[in-house]
A and B are shown apart, each in its own frame.
Chain A
Amino acid sequence: MTGRQRRSTVTFAALALCVAVRLVAAQAPAAPLGIGRPATADEVRALDIDVMPDGRGLPVGRGTPTEGAVIYASKCAACHGANGEGGSAERLVGRNDGDSFAFATNPRLARTIGSYWPYATTLYDYTSRSMPFGQPGTLAPDETYSLVAYLLFRNGVIPEDAVIDKASLPKVAMPARDRFVPDNRDGGSVVR
Chain B
Amino acid sequence: MSDSSRSARGRPSKVSRRQALLTGAAGLVGAAAAPLEGQTADQAARVRVPADPTKIQGPGGTDVGARSPFERPARVSMGGGARRTSTQTPLQDLTGIITPADLHFERHHAGVPAIDPDRYSLLIHGLVERPMSFTLADLKRFPARSVIRFLECSGNGGRAYRREPADLDVTPQQIDGLTSTSEWTGVPLSTLFREVGASPKAAWFLAEAMDAAVMTRSVPIAKAYDDAMVVYAQNGEAIRPEQGYPVRLFLPGFEGSSNVKWLRRLELADDPFMTREETSKYTDPLPDGTARMFSFVMDAKSVITEPAAPDRLTGPGWWEIRGLAWSGRGRISRVDVSADGGRTWRAATLDEPVLPKCHTRFRLPWRWDGAEAVLMSRATDETGYVQPTTGALMAARGPSTSYHFNNIRAWRVARDGSVRLAGAPA
User: What are the interface flags for B122-141 relative to A under an 8 Å C-beta threshold, 1 for contact and 0 otherwise?
Assistant: 01110001111111001001
| A3 CB-CB contact with B under 8 Å | no
| B275 CB-CB contact with A under 8 Å | yes
B384 touches A188 (CB 8 A): yes
B287 touches A180 (CB 8 A): no
A181 touches B271 (CB 8 A): no
Quick one: closest A residue to B388, CB to CB? A191
For A125, the chain B residues whose CB sits under 8 A away are 216, 273, 275-276
| Chain A, range 45-82, C-beta contacts under 8 Å to B | 47-54
| Chain A, range 151-192, C-beta contacts under 8 Å to B | 179-189, 191-192
Quick one: closest A residue to B141, CB to CB? A35
Instruction: From known contacts A31-B132, A39-B123, A104-B400, infer whether A187 and B383 are also in contact, taking CB-CB under 8 Å.
Output: yes
Quick one: closest A residue to B404, CB to CB? A185
| Chain A, range 85-130, C-beta contacts under 8 Å to B | 101-107, 111, 113, 116-119, 121-122, 125-126, 129-130
| B77 CB-CB contact with A under 8 Å | no
Total inter-chain residue pairs, C-beta < 8 Å = 180
Report the separation of the CA atoms of residues A31 and B273 in the bound assembly, to the nearest whole angstrom.
27
Instruction: From known contacts A44-B131, A136-B212, infer whether A189 and B385 are also in contact, taking CB-CB under 8 Å.
Output: yes
B214 touches A107 (CB 8 A): no
| A28 CB-CB contact with B under 8 Å | yes
Report the separation of the CA atoms of residues A113 and B274 in the bound assembly, to the nearest whole angstrom.
14
Interface-central residue, A129, A137, A188, by most chain B CB under 10 Å: A129
Quick one: closest B residue to A102, CB to CB? B289
| B194 CB-CB contact with A under 8 Å | yes
Instruction: From known contacts A104-B401, A122-B279, infer whether A130 and B274 are also in contact, taking CB-CB under 8 Å.
Output: no
Contact of A101 among B129, B290, B296 (CB under 8 A): B290
Contact of B214 among A28, A49, A54 (CB under 8 A): A49
Quick one: closest A residue to B124, CB to CB? A39
Instruction: From known contacts A103-B285, A183-B292, infer whether A121 and B133 are also in contact, taking CB-CB under 8 Å.
Output: no
B273 touches A50 (CB 8 A): yes
For A187, the chain B residues whose CB sits under 8 A away are 299, 329-330, 381, 383-385
Instruction: From known contacts A28-B130, A103-B291, A183-B294, infer whether A50 and B206 are also in contact, taking CB-CB under 8 Å.
Output: yes
B383 touches A104 (CB 8 A): no
| B341 CB-CB contact with A under 8 Å | no
For B291, the chain A residues whose CB sits under 8 A away are 101, 103, 116, 179-181
For B196, the chain A residues whose CB sits under 8 A away are 31
Report the separation of the CA atoms of residues A49 and B243 in the bound assembly, to the nearest whole angstrom.
24
Report the separation of the CA atoms of residues A104 and B286 in the bound assembly, to the nearest whole angstrom.
5
Report the separation of the CA atoms of residues A183 and B286 in the bound assembly, to the nearest whole angstrom.
11
For A116, the chain B residues whose CB sits under 8 A away are 280, 291
Quick one: closest B residue to A88, CB to CB? B81
A183 touches B295 (CB 8 A): yes
Chain B count of residues within 8 A CB distance of the other chain: 70
For A122, the chain B residues whose CB sits under 8 A away are 274-276, 279-280
Contact of A183 among B124, B212, B296 (CB under 8 A): B296
| B175 CB-CB contact with A under 8 Å | no
Report the separation of the CA atoms of residues A131 and B394 in the bound assembly, to the nearest whole angstrom.
35
Contact of A35 among B134, B292, B296, B397 (CB under 8 A): B134
- The smallest beta-carbon distance between B302 and chain A, in angstroms, is 15
Report the separation of the CA atoms of residues A52 and B279 in the bound assembly, to the nearest whole angstrom.
13
Quick one: closest A residue to B197, CB to CB? A29
| B336 CB-CB contact with A under 8 Å | no
Report the separation of the CA atoms of residues A113 and B397 in the bound assembly, to the nearest whole angstrom.
22
Instruction: From known contacts A29-B129, A183-B292, infer whether A111 and B280 are also in contact, taking CB-CB under 8 Å.
Output: yes
Report the separation of the CA atoms of residues A122 and B275 in the bound assembly, to the nearest whole angstrom.
6
Report the separation of the CA atoms of residues A186 and B300 in the bound assembly, to the nearest whole angstrom.
12
| B12 CB-CB contact with A under 8 Å | no
Report the separation of the CA atoms of residues A36 and B142 in the bound assembly, to the nearest whole angstrom.
10
Instruction: From known contacts A53-B271, A101-B291, infer whether A43 and B133 are also in contact, taking CB-CB under 8 Å.
Output: yes
- The smallest beta-carbon distance between A36 and chain B, in angstroms, is 4
For B214, the chain A residues whose CB sits under 8 A away are 49, 129-130, 136-137
B197 touches A43 (CB 8 A): no
| Chain B, range 98-135, C-beta contacts under 8 Å to A | 109-110, 123-125, 129-135
For A189, the chain B residues whose CB sits under 8 A away are 384-386
Please report B residues at the A interface, Cβ cutoff 8 Å: 109-110, 123-125, 129-135, 138, 141-142, 191, 194-197, 206, 208, 212-216, 264-265, 267, 269, 271, 273-276, 279-280, 283-287, 289-297, 299, 329-330, 381, 383-386, 388, 392-393, 396-402
* A-B pairs, 4 with minimum CB distance: A104-B398, A187-B383, A103-B285, A107-B400
Can you name 20 A-B pairs with beta carbons within 8 Å? A31-B130, A32-B194, A33-B195, A35-B138, A38-B133, A43-B123, A102-B285, A103-B291, A104-B284, A105-B399, A111-B280, A130-B213, A133-B110, A136-B212, A181-B291, A183-B294, A183-B295, A185-B295, A187-B383, A188-B383
